A and B are shown apart, each in its own frame.
Chain A
Amino acid sequence: GNSVTQMEGPVTLSEEAFLTINCTYTATGYPSLFWYVQYPGEGLQLLLKATKADDKGSNKGFEATYRKETTSFHLEKGSVQVSDSAVYFCVLTGANNLFFGTGTRLTVIP
């Protein structure tokens, strides 16, 4: 079946630090992969996506590459800001649904 395993949090970083949030998946077929972000007090919103192997999704300085050989979709950002503090979800498509990881809470301190 389909599932997503993402890095447990919480993660606390200083401003301008490098961020990696690990995500691995198991899936049948050829799913699409997403990272969603939930800022405090808000609903989830799409951060970036990749629809096939070797695709790189990017947005707001965040990047993730769909790696079929390692079944991974790790989220990275070279220099985080306080405004990046949020919960990040790695997500996999299924036939009629999305499969969400448990979320990783990131706190960036000045």
Chain B
Amino acid sequence: DVKVTQSSRYLVKRTGEKVFLECVQDMDHENMFWYRQDPGLGLRLIYFSYDVKMKEKGDIPEGYSVSREKKERFSLILESASTNQTSMYLCASSLRRGGVGELFFGEGSRLTVL
């Protein structure tokens, strides 16, 4: 089974702190994605990556950056956390380039920014 592991299930940070959210997948997938999930808004794409060291902006990249130094790992970085970044963050991966096809999701990281 494909496993997508997010490093932290729950985090509490203060405004202005730097936050790292880590995601690792174990099935050699090409594509990796970061979404945020908010009530009434569904999932919104922050960034995605289709190869090592490659990244593409999604719908809401402002205030975030990403890093993909190894194929299996995709990190989301909040350089200076703000209260409006309190949310559930979901990492996903998929096999094929282009994002078409089944996404495999991690269990999510719930971030609270005080």
Contacts and interface: CB of A to CB of B under 8 A. Distances in A.
B8 to A, nearest CB: 14
B24 interface: no
B56 to A, nearest CB: 7
Interface of A: 32, 34, 36, 41-46, 49, 89, 93-98, 100-103
Given A41-B107, A97-B48, 16 more contacts: A32-B101, A36-B103, A42-B107, A43-B105, A43-B106, A44-B103, A45-B105, A46-B102, A96-B48, A96-B50, A97-B33, A97-B58, A100-B43, A100-B44, A101-B42, A102-B41
B29 to A, nearest CB: 14
Nearest to B56: A96
Scoring B41, B42, B103 by chain A CB atoms within 10 A of each residue's CB, the highest score goes to: B42
B111 interface: no
Interface residues of B, number: 25
- A-B CB proximity, top 3 nearest: A43-B105, A102-B42, A100-B43
B108 A32 contact: no
Contacts of B105: 43-45
B67 to A, nearest CB: 19
B55 to A, nearest CB: 12
21 contacts: A34-B102, A41-B107, A43-B105, A44-B90, A44-B105, A45-B104, A45-B105, A46-B102, A89-B42, A93-B100, A95-B98, A96-B48, A96-B98, A96-B99, A97-B33, A97-B48, A97-B58, A100-B42, A100-B43, A100-B44, A102-B41
A100 B50 CA distance: 20
Nearest to B99: A96
